[in-house]
A and B are shown apart, each in its own frame.
Chain A
Amino acid sequence: MVGLFGTLDMGARSLGVQQEEMTVSGQNLANVNNPSYADEQLVISDSTPDETPIGDEGTGVQMTGITETRNPLLDTQIQGETSVTGSLTAQQTSLQNAESYLDEQITTTASSATPDSPNGLASDLSNLFASFQGLTDDPRDLSLRQTATQAAQQVTAQFNQVSTQLSKVQADLNTSVQNDVASANQDLNSIATLNQQIVEAQSAGGSAVQLVDQREQTLENLAGLANFSATTQANGAVNVSIGGVAMVTGANAVNSLQAYDPGDGNLLVQAQTGGTSITLTGGSIEGEITARDGALATLQTGLNTLASQLITQVNSIYSAGYDLHGNTGQDLFTGTNASDIGVNSSLVNDPSEFQAAGVSGAAGNSSVALALGQLGSQKLSSLNNQTFGGNYAQTVSDLGNSISSVNDNLNNSQAVAQMLSNDRTSASGVSLDGEMTNLIQYQKAYEASAELITTLNEMLQTVVSMKTS
């Protein structure tokens, strides 16, 4: 027999359990907007029964722990998708920057109702060749020579400007790689520390759900920077390795990432200890490297090839020409690529030095100007059998293709991330209505237990008054 006092004790414990239920519900309600929080539950069971001649007699309820609804598979999937999204977002941002610097944007203007792209290199190049053609109308005319010289200056200025800005995008990407590597290392350290705290808490028999939440948040943060593989150990610790190199083992951050310069100024990633080079396949660091060495590098190479071909091809025709004073042998363009292409400075000061004529002393001869103008519609083997304009258009549309495919992939990835996040909130998220219902239930149970104690109190008074009366 449990007896009156035993039952009183049972009521008291029951009150304690209902109170704890309230606390857990309160914790859940407080974290209703925390995306990495997993709904917690108090685990209760009936306490060890007393064996009596009439059979086992219940002794009430007891708390055995606090658990959270976490689906490790979903967590892993979300980490993976976060890496994909992180990589694509980094690519999208930098490539769209590059795209805006090219300034090829189709518009209609008040002066021209036909949609075209008036500000970029495409229109500068066509203006250049048109101005060469125009020079054949009256090769003696200084203003036409001036127009051709200015068109050449506009082309070189645009090449220089785009080249500088693309170099800046490239430099920004390298800075981002460095910053992201530093952030990833911080995350790795936090994970090791949290591992230690989780293992300690759990080995002491306690609950470490808040720490696990924190660690999950850190892991997801890390996933956005660099993709990793994580394995959960029996003691609750999570081991993290990046690119096959162990970074966190139990409570120790055994290695870290390091951004290094392989010689060309474009940072890559290696393991700090051991120096193993690491090839990432996801996360913003990988996205930055991919954008920099992929579409951006292709764009830069394309523009440099175009500029150097323009310099070579134009100069080889131009230098054979004669200016109005009978001089020959000068170059129109100086420099070797998009960054340093320029116009012969003495020509800029004196357009009469434009070598438009094929022979000396014939002011009306414009065979060089004609050849330069016709160069614009020539398909050159050094430019994949494309014209200058065609080659540039190809370069622009290649970049467009890269961005467009990143956009599509990012949309898909975001949809997948949304789906996974839905699955997780569905399984682990807090439901306000559910918690409110629980609160009422716990409140009623608390009232009932209190009622039990009140009743027992009255019964005990009855017992005590039996003696006094």
Chain B
Amino acid sequence: MRVSTDSFTNNFNYQIGQLESQQTILQAETTTGLKVTLPEDNPGVMDQVLNLQGEASTNNQYQNNISQVQASANTASNAINSLQTIVEKAGEIATEAGGVTSSSQLASYATQVSQLLQQALQLGNTQDANGNYIFGGTDTANPPFSATTDSSGNVTGVTYNGNTSLAETEVAPGLTVSAQNAGENNTGSGASGVFADSRTGADVFSHLISLQQDLQSGNTSAISSTDTPNLTKDEDNVVTQVSANGVLQSTLQAAGNTAQQNATNFDSEMSNDTNANLAQTITQLDQTQTAFQAALQSGAMVMQLSLMEFLP
């Protein structure tokens, strides 16, 4: 093969160019630690990373949602537990009052019940950390319960201003839960009412009001025959609410654990897809540099050789 002066420099330039570009790629991989940065580097990996990124973002939002709902569920749990105490206390009063004839004793019971009624009313208008009423269904902006009182300050009626629908929040793909509760549901369908529900016969406020009135009027027979069984229904309903809240909390706990696990998985998948094998990359960089050095050295040697060096 005839080698012209151009042949050598042409080839030399081409080979140096190839080695330089390979060196640049490996150098970039080493400094960023990534083997894929642009879509053209590996379209499949890019597709995967963008999808994973989207899923990770959704998952991250699930985690936010879970902690928000958890906060509201805790508030609701505290309120429902307090309500349980109130209803139990009222039940005890009703049982005890059945055998009491002293009017002063009955009046004292009536005062206690009236206090319990006020407390229950307060619980019914519980707000979460964001100022939303948690027992008004989706009507979170207004106090769900309002009371009417008589001239002597006794509560004579409690009206429910909320609704029976609940807004759902997604906490896992396809799994929605609600941080809201219906205070009252007498429609016979939908979310169960915490304070009153026609399906269980529970109606905390009207039962407390009737107990209070019976105590005031000394109608002990009505207390035993009507108020006590009614309060038992309220107690049962509240117990159901406590366990429903427990189920919600454990669902959130499980969803939170899954989301946490998923977040780790997404992270590691994205890293696995894109991370360069540094040991391999650095070894290759080393090899390329050696080849580059050898090419430069041999090129310099060959280019120095010319007949002109030897002519007198």
B4 at the interface (CB under 8 A from A): yes
B138–A362 touching, CB < 8 Å: yes
| A108→B32 CA distance, assembly (Å) | 8
B64 touches A403 (CB 8 A): no
A130–B60 touching, CB < 8 Å: yes
A114-B271, A429-B4 as given contacts; A134 in contact with B65, CB under 8 Å: yes
B40-A117 in contact (CB<8A): no
For residues 332 through 382 of chain A, which have their beta carbon under 8 Å from a beta carbon of chain B?
357, 359, 361-367, 370, 373-374, 376-377
**Chain A, 456-468, contact with B by CB distance < 8 Å: what is the 0/1 string?**
0000000000000
Mark out the residues of chain B between 1 and 47 whose CB falls within 8 Å of any chain A CB in the assembled complex. 1-7, 10-11, 14, 32-34, 36-44, 46-47
Complex contact B176–A370 (CB within 8 A):
yes
With beta carbons under 8 angstroms apart, the residue of A32, A106, A426 that contacts B37 is A106
Stretch among A120-128, A157-165, A263-271 lining the B interface: A120-128
Complex contact A430–B7 (CB within 8 A): no
Given known contacts A106-B274, A364-B137, A400-B46, A433 and B306 CB-to-CB distance under 8 angstroms: yes
Does B86 reach chain A (CB closer than 8 Å)? Answer: no
Query: In whole Å, how far is A268's beta carbon from the nearest beta carbon of chain B?
Result: 27
Interface residue ranges of B85-142 to A (CB < 8 Å): 130, 132, 136-141
List the B residue with the shortest CB-CB distance to A125.
Answer: B54
Determine the distance from Cα of A96 to Cα of B138 in the docked complex, in whole angstroms. 51
Give every chain A residue within 8 A of B163 (Cβ-Cβ): 362
Question: How far is it, in angstroms, between the C-alpha of A108 and the C-alpha of B34 when the chains are bound?
Answer: 9
B130 adjacent to A393 (CB under 8 Å)? no
Report the bound CA distance from A418 to B7 in whole Å: 10
Surface stretch bound by B, among A72-80, A97-105, A221-229 = A97-105
**Total interface residues on B, using CB and 8 Å?**
69
Contact A404–B40 (Cβ < 8 Å):
yes
> CB of A209 within 8 A of chain B?
no
A-B contact count (CB 8 A): 228
The answer to whether B240 has its CB under 8 Å from any CB of chain A is: no
Asked whether A111 is an interface residue with its Cβ less than 8 Å from the other chain, the reply is: no
Residues from chain A with a CB closer than 8 A to the CB of B271 are 114-115
**In the complex, chain A residues whose CB is within 8 Å of the CB of B34:** 106-108, 115
Cβ contact of B1, chosen from A106, A357, A387, A426, cutoff 8 A: A426
Complex Cα distance, B48 from A394, in Å, reads 9
Whether A115 contacts B275 in the complex (CB less than 8 A), given A366-B169, A422-B11, comes out as: yes
A359–B165 touching, CB < 8 Å:
yes
The answer on a CB contact under 8 Å between B54 and A364 is: no
The answer, yes or no, to whether B57 is at the interface (CB within 8 Å) is: yes
Is A140's beta carbon under 8 Å from chain B? Answer: yes
Please give me the residue from chain A that is nearest to B1 by CB atom.
A426
Flag whether A281 is at the interface (Cβ < 8 A).
Answer: no
Say how far A455's CB is from chain B's closest CB, in angstroms: 26
Q: Decide if B38 touches A105 in the complex (CB within 8 Å).
A: yes
CA distance A398 to B40 in the complex (A): 9
Q: Does B168 touch A at the CB level, under 8 Å?
A: yes
Question: Which of A105, A115, A363, A396 has most B Cβ within 10 Å?
Answer: A115
Contact B49 A364 (CB under 8 A): no
**Contact across chains for A374 and B170 when beta carbons are under 8 A apart:** yes
Nearest CB on B from A369, distance (A)? 8
Query: What A residues does B49 contact at CB under 8 A?
Result: 106, 115-117
In the complex, B308 has a CB within 8 A of chain A = yes
Could you tell me which residues of chain A, from 415 to 444, have a CB within 8 Å of some CB in chain B? 418, 421-422, 425-434, 436-437, 440
- Cβ B274 vs Cβ A364 within 8 A: no
A390-402 to B contact mask, C-beta < 8 Å, 1/0: 1011101111110
From 295 to 311 in chain B, residues with beta carbon under 8 angstroms from any chain A beta carbon are: 306-308, 311
Chain A neighbourhood of B153, CB < 8 A: none
Residues of B within 8 A of A105 (CB): 37-38
Within 8 A of A (CB), among B41-72: 41-44, 46-51, 53-54, 56-58, 60-62, 64-65, 68-69
Of the residues A39, A117, A364, A440, contact of B136 by C-beta under 8 Å? A364
- Residues of A near B33 (CB, < 8 A) are 108
Q: Which of A106, A393, A398, A427 contacts B51 (CB 8 A)?
A: A393
B308 pairs with A436, CB closer than 8 A: yes
A389 sits at the interface (CB 8 A): yes
Q: Which residues of B contact A433 (CB under 8 A)?
A: 5, 306-307
A126-B176 in contact given A115-B271, A426-B3 (Cβ < 8 Å): no
B266-282 interface with A by 8 A CB criterion: 266-267, 270-271, 273-275
> Which 6 interchain pairs have the tightest Cβ spacing?
A429-B4, A400-B39, A364-B140, A400-B43, A126-B57, A389-B54
4 further contact pairs, Cβ within 8 A, besides A35-B6, A399-B40, A400-B40: A117-B46, A137-B64, A364-B139, A389-B54
**Contact residues of A with B, CB < 8 Å?**
32-33, 35, 39, 96, 99, 102, 104-108, 114-117, 122-123, 125-127, 129-130, 133-134, 136-141, 357, 359, 361-367, 370, 373-374, 376-377, 387, 389-390, 392-394, 396-401, 403-404, 407, 418, 421-422, 425-434, 436-437, 440
